[in-house]
Structure 1
Amino acid sequence: MKRMMITGLAAALTLAASTAAFAQDKKTIAFVVNGPSDFWKIMEAAVARAQTELPDFDLQFRYPERADAAVQRRMMDDLVAAGIDAIAVSVVDPPTSTDAINTVAAEIPFFTFDSDATQSDRIAYIGSSNTQLGKMAGELMKTAMEGKDGKCMGFVGLPGADNAKERINGYNEAVAGTGLELIDVRGDDIDQTRARANVDDVLVANPEVNCMVGFYSYNPPRMYEALRDAGKLGEVTVVAFDEDPITLGAVAEGSFAGTVVQQPYEWGYQGAHLIADFLNGDKSKIPADGIMIIEGLTLTQDNVKQFEEDFKKKLSGG
């Protein structure tokens, strides 16, 4: 009996100590991306910078082992169980994830970035207008093709994600009636090997293709490698997305017509501050429509070098 009383007292003391420690803990915000891509390194750098300015918060940046809605949902559940205070997610498959998002959103503030889930109970989306980015890519292709007809092939990671669908729709809207036809879009589930194989297959099976669009950050580098190895760099007009170093180099040397870049650094930096303010009770910065748009940029040979210099400074913490 004495041993039981001592054990009970120890448990009570432990619980009291852990409760006190929890009360002193920093508020935790987790950013969950959509897959293991280098694209996210610049946003991760921005979150790290924001961390130095938000000492009362613990900012976490999480990568799933693969681009899979079930994996992402498991990560969200684990983070909630661990006691985080807010979460921001680039949603892998919004239509099938809405119920899971709403379950989490009933527990903690839920935000999205990059890929939205418009039908969910998320508080706000932070990122690009992917439709506008697609239109910018279409305008870039029209300029590069100089009025010529084109049989174009698209490459993307997650065809079902809102960001992919919106970019493709925006692109098609911009090139409508110009003789530039996006004949197909090949998905790869953010698998680098498949991304490269998709381009190789098109070069063999579709010799009529004379233009290509890489809709996700890692697609253009795999396109560059495939075209280089096939001896077709410069023969196929390429419009890219995002700022992978291989992509920027291809634009600088003239192998790609250009690239449309988002500003994931601002997603991370502004997003961290927005969510921290929200948790501190300041909701004034949340847009009335729940959409916080960070404008994209079009890069060509004329401005890519300056962008690349600024990009490297941000990655190094400058």
Structure 2
Amino acid sequence: MEIIMKLRLSAAILSIATVMAAGAATAQDKKSLAFVVNGASDFWKLAEAGVKKAQGELPDYDLQFKYPEQAAAAVQQRLMEDLAAAGVSAIMVSAVDPKSSTDALNRIGSQVPLFTTDSDAPDTNRIAYIGSSNTDAGKQAGEIALKALPDGGKCIGFVGLPGADNARERIEGMKETIAGSKVELIDVRGDDIDMTRAKRNVEDALAANPDIDCMVGFYSYNPPRIYEVLKESGKLGEIAIIAFDEDPITLGGVKEGTIAGTVVQDPYEWGYQGMKLMAKYLEGDKSVVPESELIIVPTKMIDKDNVDAFEAELKARING
């Protein structure tokens, strides 16, 4: 009887071990897809929500959302190298400084399929870009500025990474729209996605240009810093603010009329569509990549007329 019990116990242990081994093998068999951002910012919460939705539809994949420790090209590159070494199957990245990172991005792209979002790196071996047309977004910002300053005026811009394609294209797009008008963009100051420096840039610009007519925040956190400084200095409502993206402070300013308008992107769709795009590509469906290698998710202008509806949509996506 004792022998029978021991045999049954051994069989049970073997069965449990087999199940556990099968589970571990299944976990190891999952391919990993990584979404790598350019720095720590609340802007990326929507993209993270989009990746979360995609995870629910891609049970055979492990989707990872990664923030570099610092908004620096070298730090971002090390993060991607670590991901490639760990066996990640594909990477989507918002490149910090693609112009100076071509060789590094090509090294990553030679190890795993590389896709870009938010800030493209078209001179690399990346497979495709999914995100906004930053030039078009800049043009929309120019339209907001022309409407806010019908008699013209001088603007100063603020941005995180002046070398990134998304920053350069937004600035160029805005300049193209206001060309020939009485609205001017006289300066743009970078902050390397450093919140303290971002606020100080606004303070310094205001001190040096007390008669400035307009301030433009080209990255999501720049408009809130502009708002804070102008409120603290008693200039809120006197200087027009043109914004990008959907920070809660920005949307609150649009509601109260202290921010003329904001150009919003759709990072939720970048995360959701981007993960599904990479999964299909890895499964052999190369038709998901258009000939242009560009998948453009349109931007739109938000003002007092449509800000409430837009905010309700945002909440539904994040809570969903």
TM-score (norm 1): 0.92
Give a deviation string over 1:144-190, Cα, whole Å, max 9, x none. 112x1211000000000000000000000000011111110010000
Higher alpha-carbon deviation: 281-290 or 156-165: 281-290
Q: What's the counterpart of residue 271 of structure 2?
A: 268
Deviation per residue, 1:85-123 (Å, 9 max, x gap): 000000000011111111111111100000000100000
Instruction: Indicate the SS of the match to 1:295.
Output: coil
Where does residue 114 of structure 1 map in the other structure? 118
Structure 2 contact 157–215 (Cα < 8 Å) conserved: yes
After superposition, the Cα gap between the structure-2 partners of 1:197 and 1:303, relative to the gap in structure 1 and judged at 3 Å, is same
1:182 maps to amino acid? L
Query: d(CA) in 2 for partners of 1:24 and 1:181?
Result: 56
State the match for 2:247 in structure 1: 244
Q: CA contact under 8 A between 2:37 and 2:94: conserved in structure 1?
A: yes
| Structure 2 residue identity aligned to 1:152 | C
User: 1:182-231 CA deviation, whole Å, 9 max, x = no partner?
Assistant: 11001000000000111111111111211011000000001000000001
Looking at structure 2, the residues matched to 254 and 64 of structure 1 have their Cα atoms a distance apart, in angstroms, of: 35
Aligned to 2:301: 298
The whole-number CA distance in structure 2 between the counterparts of 1:244 and 1:186 is 20
* In 2, Cα distance between equivalents of 1:171 and 1:24: 48
Q: Which residue of 1 aligns with 2:215?
A: 212
Residue of 151, 159, 162 corresponding to 1:159: 162
CA distance in 2, matches of 1:251, 1:66: 30
**Residue equivalent to 1:259:** 262
Q: How many Å separate the matches in 1 of 2:313 and 2:108?
A: 37
The count of corresponding residues between Structure 1 and Structure 2 is 299
Mapping of 1:280-291 within 5 angstroms? 280-291=283-294
Q: Partners of 2:224 and 2:202 in 1: how far apart?
A: 11
Alpha-carbon distance between aligned partners in 2 of 1:282 and 1:24, rounded to the nearest angstrom: 23
Q: Gapped runs of 5+ residues in structure 2?
A: 1-20
- State the 1:280 CA deviation: 1.0
Matched, 1:64 2:94: no
- For the pair 1:30 / 2:71, whether they are aligned, the reply is no
**Residue 148 of structure 2 corresponds to residue 131 of structure 1:** no
TM superposition shift of 1:22: 8.0
Aligned with 1:284: secondary structure?
A: helix
Aligned residue for 1:106, secondary structure, equals: helix
Shift of 1:21: 3.3
Per the alignment, residue 237 of structure 2 pairs with 234
Give distance in 2, aligned partners of 1:143 and 1:297. Answer: 16
Distance in structure 1 (CA, Å) of the matches to 2:154 and 2:262:
19
Q: SS in structure 1 opposite 2:101?
A: helix
2:92 matched to 1:88? Answer: yes
Residue type of the alignment partner of 2:161: L
Q: Which amino acid aligns with 2:124?
A: S
SS in structure 2 at match of 1:259: strand
Give me the whole-angstrom Cα distance separating, in 2, the residues matched to 1:222 and 1:230. 12
TM norm structure 2: 0.91
Measured at CA, do residues 264 and 23 of structure 1 come closer, stay the same or move farther in structure 2, by a change above 3 Å?
closer
Aligned to 2:55: 51
Q: Which residue of 2 is the match for residue 178 of structure 1?
A: 181
Output the CA distance in 2 between the equivalents of 1:99 and 1:90.
16
Rg larger in structure: 2
**Identical columns (%):** 63
- Amino acid aligned to 2:155: C
Partner of 1:76: 80
RMSD of aligned alpha carbons: 1.4
C-alpha separation between the residues in 2 aligned to 1:183 and 1:103? 38
